[in-house]
Structure formats: C-alpha cells, structure tokens
Amino acid sequence: MTESIGAKADIIPYAPDYAQTVRSWIDCEETFANVCRGTEFPPPGDIVDSWQREGVSPFLLFAESKPVAYAELWSRPMDMAVEIAHLIVDPSQRSKGYGTKMLELMFQRGSQRDSITRVLISLYGESTVALGCFLKARFELMGTATYTTGLKLVRLVE
C-alpha cells in the first residue's frame, strides 16, 4: 500500500445522485461482507439509500473531479464518540492511498464535533489491506466488536 496521497482530494457531503456509483463499488462477496456484513451477493439496488438515516453523516471523497471513496460518521453520543462506517473505495482506485486519505479527513471532521473524545472504526472480516489502512491512519486496536465478529479500532481526539 502506498503512503497517504498528496493529491488534491477532499470530502463533500454525499448526495443521493451517487447511490448507484457507490453501490457499484461493492464488486464482490468479500467487499459486501467487509463493508456492510452482507451475506447475499449482489447487494440490493437501494443498499446505499438504506444507509441514510438520522445520526448518520455520509461523505464522498472527490479527487480529480470524481468520487473515489465513500464513508459515514455515525453519532455515538453515549460514548462521546463518532464511528466511521461503510468505508469503501472505488475498486479502480484502491491501493492508491484514498482509503487512508478518507479516514484522515473523516477523523478531522468527526473530531471537530462537540464533546467528542474519540473516533471509532470496526473491521469485519480478515482484510489485512483494510487493517493496514486503518493503522496507517493512526487508529489503534482496542479490542473486539461488541455486535458481531470483528475488531474495534480507536483514534483519540487530542
């Protein structure tokens, strides 16, 4: 995996016009399981729309005027935290540092919220690439996930 990219890339709020683009990035059973714990591939056509709800702030990472990654911030007020969820990168753009860039920008956005002391992310499955991305973005292993099989990682807000 490469170092975090230096290219101009920034997150913008997600718009429903990009639902099918993001869905198309769920390109195999493994990705479906890792991103949203899905079990019956292919995912439903409205899967990205189903992620949109109260307490969820979705974002797209744009580079060179096109979306290359998607992720959400989930409010966890009882934990004084936000959680990054549904992180996915366009398959043609993977291993170029966009996942790490997205995590860095999502951390910055989430850590600016009032009363936030940490940012969480869960790893479902055994993707060493995803784990490497999370660690490169300075998340640290804190234990296992509480809801399902997986790992929970954290990055503290300074």
Q: Each residue of 35-67: pLDDT tens digit?
A: 988 889 999 999 999 999 999 999 999 999 999
Answer yes or no: is pLDDT of 2 > 50. no
Question: What's this model's pTM, rounded to 2 decimal places?
Answer: 0.92
Q: pLDDT tens for residues 67-93?
A: 999 999 999 999 999 999 999 999 999
CATH topology of domain 9-156: Aminopeptidase (3.40.630)
What is the β-pairing status of strands 56-63 and 66-76? antiparallel
DSSP E strand boundaries for 5-150? 9-13, 56-63, 66-76, 81-89, 118-123, 140-144
The residue type at 72:
E
Write down how long the chain is.
158
